[in-house]
Chains A and B, each alone.
Chain A
Amino acid sequence: MNSNVVTLSINGKEVSGRDDETILELALENGIQIPRLCYLEGLSIVGACRLCMVEVLGAKGLIAACATRITEGMVVQTDSERLAEYRRSILEMLFAEGFHVCSVCVANGHCELQTQAAHAGIDHIDLPYLYPRRKVDASHRLFGLDANRCILCTRCVRVCSEIEGARTWSVSGRGIEAHIISDFATPWGESTTCTSCGKCVQVCPTGALFMKGASTAELEKRTDFLSWITAMREQR
């Protein structure tokens, strides 16, 4: 191992870790929670959701904790009124841009977006809702995709490519037009690459990817398989 141990401060607390660890990893090891949506242990890091932004003394802007390695003497603040305001704005934008109807969603009560919003104290959305008309793909025998609930975290894209090795999912379009597609934007049920393993459904933080047959609030996702697979691969 070529890593060195470094010491830094998170929220005024002295903590130590290896210099190949990220701020988020070290924070979690020390029982400090940082809000996040796109990050999932066992998958590669994209820093897409920006919810895990933290303040680092001397840094110009805010830093994504999931995508920044720790260094000696770093002074990190994971919670402040300024960060809370930015996080609320990010969450509000997600609610306004997509079409999230929690009360009739299959993931109601088990949704990471919903949980983060409640945690951030969001009780209404000030931004105007866009009410987009996004597609629902119910062509797969076992699973469905409701793009209205998608927050483009790309966990499904990454788990399919990095863990399952099927590469069924990718992102098409740019900016507000960006959306998840299977294969060449062809119906999921006709996919020649999908192995129907369901990993994408399990890692999806919202009800965008769901199992057919599950009704409102019935879908509880399980991501623990990721740590098992990662551990077995490391042992080999």
Chain B
Amino acid sequence: MDKIKLATVWLDGCSGCHMSFLDMDEQLLALADAITLVYSPLVDFKEFPPDVDVTLVEGAVSSEEDLHKIQMIRQRTKLLVSLGDCAITGNVPSMRNPFGPEAILERAYLEDGLINPVIPTVNVPPLLKTVQPVHTVVPVDVFVPGCPPPAGVIYEAVAALTEGRTPNLHGLTRFGK
């Protein structure tokens, strides 16, 4: 069987979904026979390859960098998987939406009693007006809810995709799991 090319990306999230991915423990060995990890925060490839079979996206779309990244990834990926509540609902990152990015930056960088209070503008991407779930920006093929999704559920989803099945996660996970 040909190995599928798997990528994982980390947008605006806490990396908890990636931690849960690693929590698969020995199931990772079972997956290793079926996948090649071609891009991920867990490995050191710098460029997102042009022909990825499955990409797991952790995190919401919060900055211009996130937006460009996810649009590029969508073009280069056959199946895009929203992994976890931030990617699916906006979750905690989206709690800034009613207030707007200016209020958040001022609260974090100006009002906290720092010695030299300044809002960073160099080497950091501008924040979008609102944090968005991934599927509102690009089409998403599979949704794996949870905060984070349990390791076994991620395994089930990825294993199904490597076998060419549509993952059936009904009853296994939910928002906030």
Q: Which A residues have a C-beta under 8 Å from some C-beta of B?
A: 95, 99-105, 108-109, 111, 114-115, 117-118, 121, 123-126, 128-129, 131-133, 217
CA distance A109 to B140 in the complex (A): 26
Tell me the smallest distance from the CB of A91 to a CB of chain B, in Å.
11
Please tell me if B15 contacts chain A, counting CB pairs below 8 Å: no
**Residue in A95, A102, A105, A117 whose Cβ sees the most chain B Cβ within 10 Å:** A102
A114 contact from B144, B169, B176, Cβ within 8 A: B176
Q: A124-B82, A124-B143 are in contact. Are A132 and B98 (CB under 8 A)?
A: yes
**Once bound together, how far apart are the Cα atoms of A105 and B177, in whole Å?**
11
Contact of B97 among A104, A115, A118, A131 (CB under 8 A): A131
Closest chain A CB from B127 CB (angstroms) = 15
Closest chain A residue, CB of each to CB of B176:
A102
Chain B interface mostly: loop
In the complex with contacts A123-B88, A123-B143, A125-B89, A105-B136 CB distance below 8 A: no
**How many B residues, CB 8 Å from partner?**
27
Tell me how far the C-beta of A72 lies from the nearest C-beta in chain B, rounded to whole angstroms: 38
| Option from A108, A129, A131, A133 in Cβ contact (under 8 Å) with B176 | A108
**CB-CB nearest in chain A for B172:** A118
Q: List 18 A-B contacts (CB under 8 A).
A: A95-B89, A101-B94, A102-B174, A103-B176, A109-B176, A111-B176, A114-B174, A117-B175, A118-B171, A121-B170, A124-B89, A124-B143, A125-B89, A129-B89, A129-B97, A131-B97, A133-B98, A217-B176
Indicate if the CB atoms of A117 and B174 lie closer than 8 Å: yes
* Interface flag for B130 (CB, 8 Å): yes
Instruction: Type the 1/0 row for B92-115, where 1 means its CB is closer than 8 Å to any CB of A.
Output: 101101110000000000000000
Given A117-B175, A124-B145, A132-B98, output 10 extra A-B contacts at Cβ < 8 Å: A101-B94, A103-B147, A109-B176, A114-B174, A118-B171, A118-B174, A121-B170, A123-B88, A123-B145, A125-B89
Distance A201 CA – B171 CA, assembled complex (angstroms) = 28
Beyond A101-B91, A124-B140, A128-B136, whether A114 also contacts B130 by CB under 8 A is: no
Q: Within the assembled complex, what's the spacing in Å between the Cα atoms of A121 and B99? A: 31
Q: With an 8 A cutoff between CB atoms, is B59 at the interface?
A: no
Chain A residues within 8 Å of B130, by CB: 131
Task: List, in ascending order, chain A residues with CB within 8 A of B99's CB.
Answer: 133
**Does B150 sit within 8 A of A, measured CB to CB?**
no
Query: In this complex, what residue of B is CB-closest to A104?
Result: B92
Residues on A with beta carbons closer than 8 Å to the beta carbon of B145: 123-124
Give the residue name and chain of the B residue nearest to A118 (CB): B174
Complex Cα–Cα for A100 and B174 (A): 13
Q: Which residues of A lie under 8 Å from residue B98 when comparing CB positions? A: 99, 131-133
B169 and A123 form a contact (CB under 8 A): yes
Residue B135 CB within 8 A of the other chain? yes
Q: State A124–B91 Cα separation when bound (angstroms).
A: 12
- Which A residues are in CB contact (< 8 Å) with B136? 128
Contact yes or no, B140 A131, CB < 8 A: no
The answer to whether B175 touches A114 (Cβ under 8 A) is yes
